[in-house]
Amino acid sequence: MKSSITLFLVNAVFFVVVAFIYGLYTEFTEMVGFPALLLTGFMSGMIGVYLWLTDRRVGRQPQDAEYAEISDADADYGFFSPWSWWPIACAGAAAVSFYGIAMGWWIFPFGALLGLVALVGLAFEHDRGDHAH
């Protein structure tokens, strides 16, 4: 985490400095680039400070240890079904919904209904059939 903190804080300083150089170069008349670079620097600084505070609270992480093994950073990511088709149905429903927002609102309810069916199927796929608990 130490390298991430350093990276974000160096990026914050870089973007703020570049923002002011850009502002001076354009005489602060172009009001898109200067605020965008400045806000990018502030956002990077916020992430760096958040990581620094989290690192102080949590302590030493496996990625900071010089001789750590890859398995030291293993975490329990949950249980996922490799045979499940429901995530594809969820993605298809999201695609139909976003298409409906972009092209015509009358399409959106169909995507929302498909999304509801897909989410219920995903949530309850282990409650019936061969894999019921």
**pLDDT confidence band for 129 (50 / 70 / 90):** low
What does pLDDT average to over the chain?
88
What token pair was written down for 45? Answer: 């600084």
**Domain span including residue 92:** 86-126
For residue 120, pLDDT beyond 90: yes
- Mean pLDDT calculated for residue range 84-113: 95
Number of domains in the chain: 2
According to the model, what pLDDT value does residue 65 have?
73
Rg (CA), the chain: 24
> Are 127 and 116 in contact, with CB atoms under 8 Å apart?
no
37 within some domain: yes
Confidence of residue 26 (pLDDT cuts 50, 70, 90): very high
Structure tokens at 93: 């429903």
For residue 64, give Cα distances in angstroms to 42, 51, 70.
25, 13, 12
Query: Does residue 77 sit within a domain?
Result: no
Exposed / middle / buried, residue 121 (Cβ in 10 Å: 0-12, 13-18, 19+): middle
Is residue 72 one of the residues assigned to a domain? Answer: no
Q: How confident is the model at residue 130 (pLDDT cuts 50, 70, 90)?
A: low
pLDDT of residue 1: 73
CA–CA dist 111, 80 (Å, integer): 24
Domain-embedded: residue 70: no
